[in-house]
């Protein structure tokens, strides 16, 4: 299957997915990388990896989310995308857009869902005094950060952790978790929804 990847920033999860596809650890081929941010560092990384890119700046659409989504959808379809992987994509998509990719769109969220949906998840985990934190790969549904969980990784929270140190520990696991979840999902979505992947990382 051809995988389209949506990014907004550094694209470290995108790189993990592209390298995994290149190395045969994810049973898919890159279709296109689309960013809503023309300055996203991930665009250059995708280009360096030989993957087609499209920068569709959301700002000219001035809140007309449907029009922006239609452009993103067009870029994905014209690249022959079968499955969409959101990787640090920071735009809320319309229900209509999500509906067009139901069962074919996944996302990675930096918390152990359903805890800490939304933003600033690492600081919120620290504020709550969590002993563990982590990340979740899930199917995208119209309700934010909900949808069938495909896998999760858990890390310890360490004394003296800041949002930055905790985010870095979680991000390292994101790069392990996402390729494994996407591979399972591409190979057999129903099995992937049943046999969820759990990574328990007791790292420093």
What is the C-alpha R_g of the chain?
16
C-beta closer to ligand GRF: residue 81 or 173: 173
Q: Are 76 and 31 in contact (CB under 8 A)?
A: yes
- The verdict on whether 120 is a catalytic residue reads no
- How many Å is the maximal CA-CA distance in the chain? 49
Find the shortest distance in angstroms from Cβ 108 to ligand GRF.
5
Find the shortest distance in angstroms from Cβ 130 to ligand GRF.
16
C-alpha dist (Å) from residue 125 to 110, 141, 143: 10, 24, 21
Say whether 36 counts as a known binding-site residue.
no
Q: Are 41 and 11 in contact (CB under 8 A)?
A: yes
Which spans of this chain sit near ligand GRF (rule: CB under 6 A)? 7, 9-14, 87-88, 108, 110, 135, 171, 174
Find the shortest distance in angstroms from Cβ 163 to ligand GRF.
11
Annotated binding site for (6R)-10-formyltetrahydrofolate: 65, 107
- Detail the residues annotated as belonging to a binding site: 11-13, 65, 107
């Amino acid at each position: 299957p051809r995988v389209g990847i949506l990014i907004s920033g550094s694209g470290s999860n995108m790189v993990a997915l592209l390298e995994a596809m290149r190395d045969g650890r994810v049973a898919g081929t890159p279709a296109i990388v689309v960013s809503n941010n023309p300055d996203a560092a991930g665009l250059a990384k995708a280009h360096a990896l030989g993957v087609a890119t499209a920068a569709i700046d959301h700002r000219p659409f001035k809140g007309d989310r449907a029009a922006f989504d239609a452009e993103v959808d067009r870029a994905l379809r014209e690249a022959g995308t079968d499955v969409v992987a959101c990787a640090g994509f920071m735009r809320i998509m319309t229900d209509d857009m999500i509906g067009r990719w139901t069962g074919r769109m996944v996302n990675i969220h930096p918390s152990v869902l359903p805890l800490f949906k939304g933003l600033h998840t690492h600081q919120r985990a620290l504020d709550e005094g969590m002993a563990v934190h982590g990340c979740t790969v899930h199917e995208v549904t119209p309700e934010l950060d909900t949808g069938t969980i495909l896998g999760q990784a858990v890390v310890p929270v360490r004394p003296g952790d800041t949002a930055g140190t905790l985010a870095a520990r979680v991000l390292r696991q994101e790069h392990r978790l996402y390729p494994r979840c996407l591979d399972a999902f591409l190979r057999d979505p129903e099995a992937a929804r049943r046999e969820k992947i759990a990574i328990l990382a007791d790292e420093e």
